[in-house]
Amino acid sequence: MASGARSSKHARDAALASLLPGGGVGSSKRARLEGGGGDYAGLDERSSARKGTVLRVEMRNFMTYAHVVVEPGLRLNLILGPNGTGKSSLVCALCVGLAGHTKLLGRADKISDYVKRGEEFGSVKITLASGEGEAPVTVFRKIKRDNSSEWKVNGSPCSKEKVEKLTKEYAVQLDNLCAFLPQDRVVMFAHLKPVELLVETQKAIGDTTLYDSHQNLIQLRDGLRGLETKVEKHANLLDTKKEQNKSVERDVTKFKEREELRANAAKMATKLPWLKYEEAKAEYIETKDKAKQGKEALKAQKAALDKAQEPVKALEDDKVEGKKKLQKIDKDAAKAAHDITTFTDKVNSLAAKHDQQMSTIESLHDQWAQSEKEKNDLREKIAKIEAEYATAPKEAPPELLAQRDELHDKYKKADLEQREIQHKEYELIERSEGIRKPLESIKDKLKKLTSVRSARLNALYAKQPQLRQVVDWIEANRATFKKRVYGPILCEVDVPNSQHAKMLEQHAPGFLWGSFVTTDEEDRNRIISANNVQKLSVLNYMDDPTKEIQYRSGKAANFAHLGVTNTLDAVFEAAPIIKHVLCDHARLNDTYLVKSNDDVERIFKETNINVLWTNDSQHMQHKSRYNKNAVSIRVVPLRPCRLFQTQGNASTNKAEKDALTSQMQKHEQELQKLEKERETLQSKQTKIESERIKPLSDAKNKIAKEISDINKRAVKMKVALDRWREELSQLEKAEPLNVRMSKERKMLDNLLASRVKAVTSVTEAIQRRREVMHKECMLRLELAELEVREDALKTELAEYQKEYNDATQLSEQLNQIMVIARQKLADTKATAEQETGSITPELEEYFSTLSANYDELEAQVQAARERADRILCPNPNILDDYNRRCAEINQLEKTLHGDREELATGQAKIDSEKEAWLPRLRELVSSVNSGFGKAFASIGCAGEVRLVEAGEEYDRYSIEIRVKFRDEEELQVLCATRQSGGERSVSTILYLLALTSLTNGLGFRVCDEINQGMDPNNERKVFGLLVQSMTRPGTPQSFLLTPKLLPDLEYTDEVTVLNIFNGPYVKQVADGWSQEAFWRRRAMTGAAGAADPIAVL
């Protein structure tokens, strides 16, 4: 919600922005009261606001705000509100909403930390004026929990770079402490070095030409320094080389004479390779003619060879045709042979079947006689067995059955006794199972107690693998330590409550959970020296672990009425020494647990407690070192456990373990006793089995076998009688002999007819094969004749081929000789041209004066060289060195001339830039000094701003702020160590005020809590100067944030006061607010000049 009011005397504008439950926002127009009446004005003036002025800021789910809209004034905006209400949230919104880096705020580095707790995203929407006659521009930024952002300008998506370019165009300088001074960076202004202060001051005036000129001068001067060094170096080198050449001129003259002789000899020698070339040319022409003759001879031999090959080719064609005919004949012969084989096999098969059928007919008489004999034998067997079956017993005798029943009764009695023993054994087994179940449960509990430590160790090993080596070494050497060694600490702590485990793990430093604790220095040193492991933490506790833990802020019970339930050291169980170590290193005894988030602010306000834990978050209060009233609260969400994933006592509660071990031993003893009783019963059971049951069972089986044999013998006789009767019946039903003989003879006649037909087919196939064989013989004779004729022609062709090959080889040899001669000609010519180049008319004329004989010319060249060698020269490289230095001297003179011209040009540029920059800078500093001095004089102190010039060293130009707050002091440079916090605040705000009239190019300026630490007199005077300076026409929009202001301060019409409150009752008050009623009441009471800027009716 926002509302505002102006008084006729003090002209107070006001807007109320409040953080409401659920995020409601409202607004009302500004009003002006004159003479008891009122009219609404001030809205149209926003359309003519200067470029870069903030017209509107809308925040959603941003820091402390759910939703709020702020419409600041066009000149000075005073942002008032108690600490923690959200004043700085507006500054943060301006910074992050206009693409400023979070480091500029001195708060959280991650952009996601600016999203309201419990929300997935937040947003900032800022409207900036574009100047008179231009439409405003709106910048929108949506911030997500994954630290990503979405940007829009005037509703259209864009990149962050475009927003940065826009803020530069609108003169928004978020990185300039003279223009944007958040709460947590106020102290940094006094830390600015004089050189940095000059840079920030030039940037703060909004016109970048002065700052750009300064940077250009620094770059130009840096470039000239290297050039000056280069000119000096080249000048010295030039003088040195000239002196060196002057000292060797006489030797150079002699050297030139010798070189002239050598040059003449070399010039004569240039004809030698050309003489070699003429010799190679004559040799090439001769080999070329021979190669041509060899080529013509080869051509004639090729024609004779081609003619000899024609009859050979004709014979080869005839052979191919004959072989094709032979292949067809071979196929016909193969088919005839196959038919012969097939029909022969068929004849043989039919002959075998004929013989077999004859044997069958002959054996029919024997089979009939055998059948009659078998019938008679069966009739005799049937008569005999019928007589035996009639007299044989059909069931067992009564005395044998009585004996069987008597044995069965005795066996049943023995079996009953054995069953009773088995029943007792089953009861013992059930009792044993009743003991084994609780025994297994006890063993599982013991195993679980041990597995807690393993699980936590594994969690530690995942983060610190090197700890495994240390833990194993300590366990192996535990008996050798002087005193007990604890650790890792994670395995020594028992946290029954999972929420408390999360708090404990998040609160304590990570290294602490993997640390070991000793109570003897020698044990500690031994562990460290034996384990060469990085980041190994071994803490040696030398204090008394039995002493009571101290609570510096007070015991938790003292704050129970405020909702405090406990301290963090009371939520877990551990050895006293472990508790002391955790309290010493993690301050668990100064960390308190509270029931609700609603109690946090009250506890921080009424106690000295600085760290609180609720069920879902950690709250940390930070008080500024420079201002005790400046308090910030950081809230960190509760994270899941990573190390305390398995709850339980990692050190294994000894009492519980001993009790479980005792129970386990008792149960095991009972099991042993039951096992002995079971063994006794099994022994009795075995005795009954061997002495009674087994003999009775054997006797029973023997009698049963006798009864079974009697029954089986009668049944067996009956089965045999039935089988023989069936066989006799089958034999009597067999077919008569005469019928079978007629059928077999008919089959024999059919086989004979098929056999005659097959023999006829064999005869025809043999005749066809004879005809094919005759054709094959004739064709093979013709092919043999062609082979003979072909061999004779090939012998003759081989002679032609040999003559052709010899001619080819000779031609190739002649060509190779010609190629070698041609290559030699090319090489000699290349060598000659390499030494002399192509022959010019002048060179040809010179060659005509020399001998045309190679040996004679070579002797003349050698004589000229010997004359040159008789001239001695101690340094053979003297001429090269002399000429090289001459070339270097010429190059150095050219380079030096160019560098001096460049140096003069660069210096001229610097002088021109300096003439444009320095007077303006002096004028700027003079204006700042004038305003700064007057402002200090108005509060009864002295101050000056001085420009420290450094000649041509433009990167060392700086601004010094000198102040004096007491009469007995001299003016002293403002720094972070000499003046008090209040004095630095006064100096900072007055310097910024002195810049106000010069910063017309800025869009807006921000200063957060600059008045903190000032005494009331200075604050009142400074405020008057601030209102006067920042509300003049043409000054940029300004934001001044403070938790409080003195009463009865003087305001102007250009001052807008924004009051920010929060709390559970703000919405109720805001809903009852009526601005019109407020002004009517003030008009009636006549208290327009003395009443507070805001009144709630």
Short-list 956, 1027, 949, 960, CA closest to 987: 960
Q: Which three-class secondary structure state does DSSP give residue 212?
A: helix
Check: CB of residue 1083 under 8 Å from CB of residue 33: yes
H helix runs in 563-653, sequence order:
576-586, 600-606
Q: Which three-class secondary structure state does DSSP give residue 614?
A: coil
pLDDT-based confidence at 802, cuts 50/70/90?
confident
Query: Within its chain, how far is the Cα of 1082 from the centroid?
Result: 67
d(C-alpha 1054, C-alpha 570), whole Å: 58
Task: Out of 376-390, 509-523, 831-845, 884-898, give the one with best mean pLDDT.
Answer: 509-523
Predicted confidence at residue 1000, as pLDDT, reads: 62
Check: CB of residue 6 under 8 Å from CB of residue 30: yes
> Is the model's pLDDT at 150 over the cut of 90?
yes
Cβ count near 1017 (within 10 Å): 11
pTM value surpassing 0.85: no
Query: What residue ranges in 577-678 does DSSP mark as E strands?
Result: 592-594, 611-613, 617-623, 631-637
Query: Within its chain, how far is the Cα of 587 from the centroid?
Result: 37
What's the pLDDT tens digit per position in 635-685? 899 888 888 865 544 444 555 666 777 888 888 888 888 888 888 888 888
Q: Which residues pair with 619 in a beta bridge?
A: 612, 635
> Is the model's pLDDT at 117 over the cut of 50?
yes
Cβ count near 288 (within 10 Å): 15
Query: Within its chain, how far is the Cα of 653 from the centroid?
Result: 43
Predicted confidence at residue 186, as pLDDT, reads: 56
> Is the model's pLDDT at 593 over the cut of 90?
yes
Torsions phi, psi of 21, nearest 5? -60, 120
Cis peptide, bond prior to residue 488, ω within 30 of zero: yes
Task: Out of 145-159, 673-687, 742-756, 1003-1017, give the one with best mean pLDDT.
Answer: 145-159
Helical (H) or strand (E) element with 442: helix 398-463
Burial (Cβ within 10 Å: 0-12, 13-18, ≥19) of residue 718: middle
Name the pairing type of β-strands 942-948 and 54-62.
Answer: unpaired
Q: Which amino acid is at 505?
A: E
Torsions phi, psi of 978, nearest 5? -90, -45
Predicted confidence at residue 140, as pLDDT, reads: 96
Contacts of 415 (CB under 8 A, 6+ apart): 693
Higher pLDDT, 1009 or 124: 124
Task: Out of 108-117, 305-314, 980-989, give the one with best mean pLDDT.
Answer: 108-117
Check: CB of residue 26 under 8 Å from CB of residue 1095: no
Contacts of 100 (CB under 8 A, 6+ apart): 94, 174, 175, 180
> Is the model's pLDDT at 1070 over the cut of 50?
yes
Higher pLDDT, 388 or 549: 549
pLDDT-based confidence at 375, cuts 50/70/90?
confident
> Is the model's pLDDT at 2 over the cut of 60?
no
Short-list 66, 47, 70, 206, CA closest to 126: 70
> Is the model's pLDDT at 569 over the cut of 60?
yes
Predicted confidence at residue 1052, as pLDDT, reads: 82
In the block, which residue shows the tokens 């003046």? Answer: 979
Q: How does DSSP classify residue 590?
A: G
Q: Which three-class secondary structure state does DSSP give residue 1008?
A: strand
Burial (Cβ within 10 Å: 0-12, 13-18, ≥19) of residue 548: exposed
> Is the model's pLDDT at 122 over the cut of 90?
yes
Give the least confident one: 455-464, 663-672, 787-796.
787-796
> Is the model's pLDDT at 738 over the cut of 70?
no
Task: Out of 24-28, 111-115, 447-451, 844-848, give the one with best mean pLDDT.
Answer: 111-115
Helical (H) or strand (E) element with 128: strand 121-128
d(C-alpha 95, C-alpha 105), whole Å: 8
Contacts of 754 (CB under 8 A, 6+ apart): 350
Check: CB of residue 648 under 8 Å from CB of residue 449: yes
Helical (H) or strand (E) element with 693: none
Tokens of 704: 């049963």
Predicted confidence at residue 1095, as pLDDT, reads: 31
Predicted confidence at residue 1012, as pLDDT, reads: 63
pLDDT-based confidence at 159, cuts 50/70/90?
very high
What's the pLDDT tens digit per position in 987-999? 877 777 777 666 6
Name the pairing type of β-strands 121-128 and 76-80.
Answer: unpaired
Predicted confidence at residue 979, as pLDDT, reads: 78
Short-list 136, 134, 30, CA closest to 1054: 30
> Is the model's pLDDT at 49 over the cut of 60?
yes
Predicted confidence at residue 227, as pLDDT, reads: 79
Higher pLDDT, 29 or 622: 622
Question: What mean pLDDT comes out for the span 34-42?
Answer: 33
d(C-alpha 547, C-alpha 556), whole Å: 19
Short-list 815, 850, 827, 823, CA closest to 276: 827
Predicted confidence at residue 187, as pLDDT, reads: 56
Q: How does DSSP classify residue 591?
A: -
Q: Which three-class secondary structure state does DSSP give residue 575?
A: coil
Check: CB of residue 925 under 8 Å from CB of residue 948: no
Classify 837 in phi/psi space as left (phi over 0), alpha (psi -120 to 50) or beta.
Answer: left
Cβ count near 890 (within 10 Å): 10
In the block, which residue shows the tokens 């025809």? Answer: 764
Question: What mean pLDDT comes out for the span 1065-1079?
Answer: 72
Tokens of 429: 């087994």
What's the pLDDT tens digit per position in 161-211? 999 899 888 888 777 766 777 655 555 665 678 888 888 777 766 567 888
Higher pLDDT, 701 or 10: 701
Higher pLDDT, 652 or 407: 407
Query: Within its chain, how far is the Cα of 350 from the centroid?
Result: 89
H helix runs in 870-979, sequence order:
878-938
Buried/exposed code over 37-61 (b: 16+ C-beta within 10 A; e: otherwise): ebeeebeeebeebbbbbbbbbbbbb
Q: Which amino acid is at 411?
A: Y
Burial (Cβ within 10 Å: 0-12, 13-18, ≥19) of residue 1007: buried
Q: Which three-class secondary structure state does DSSP give residue 782?
A: helix
Check: CB of residue 14 under 8 Å from CB of residue 1045: no
Tokens of 186: 């106020």
| Residues recorded for the chain | 1097
Name the pairing type of β-strands 631-637 and 617-623.
Answer: antiparallel
In the block, which residue shows the tokens 């109320």? Answer: 16
In DSSP notation, 323-368 reads: HHHHHHHHHHHHHHHHHHHHHHHHHHHHHHHHHHHHHHHHHHHHHH
Question: What mean pLDDT comes out for the span 367-374?
Answer: 75
d(C-alpha 296, C-alpha 810), whole Å: 11
Torsions phi, psi of 1060, nearest 5? -120, 125
